[in-house]
């Protein structure tokens, strides 16, 4: 389930965080993957993460800091 994360800072910024949460009450450990732009994390891996009762948090790091300098975002 995608969620929009809003940072409480100045300047304020947002990014999309996709959470895959196993059924149950938890608590669950979390695996964080910031390379959603590359799609290396396959559906098979995501399924395995859920079967092991982990939360999978994926985001595209390029939304936060592009590889190429952008003078509009400092």
**Residue 6 in domain:** yes
For residue 8, give its domain range: 2-64
**Residue 72 in domain:** no
Burial class (CB in 10 A: 0-12, 13-18, 19+), 62: middle
**Residue 69 in domain:** no
Under the banding of pLDDT at 50, 70 and 90, the label for residue 69 is low
How far is the C-alpha of 72 from the C-alpha of 57, rounded, in Å?
Answer: 28
**Residue 27 in domain:** yes
Q: Which residues contact 50 (CB under 8 A, 6 or more apart)?
A: 20, 22, 56
Under the banding of pLDDT at 50, 70 and 90, the label for residue 48 is very high
pLDDT of 25 over the 80 cut: yes
Percent of the chain residues topping a pLDDT of 70 = 70
**Residue 71 in domain:** no
How far is the C-alpha of 63 from the C-alpha of 47, rounded, in Å?
Answer: 25
pLDDT of 29 over the 70 cut: yes
Total domains in the chain come to 1
Under the banding of pLDDT at 50, 70 and 90, the label for residue 51 is very high
């Amino acid at each position: 389930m995608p969620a929009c994360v809003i940072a409480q800072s100045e300047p304020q910024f947002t990014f999309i965080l996709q959470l895959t949460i196993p059924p149950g009450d938890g608590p669950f450990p979390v695996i964080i993957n910031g390379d959603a732009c590359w799609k290396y994390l396959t559906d098979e891996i995501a399924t395995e993460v859920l079967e092991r009762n982990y939360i999978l948090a994926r985001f595209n790091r390029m939304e936060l800091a592009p590889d190429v300098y952008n003078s509009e975002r400092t």
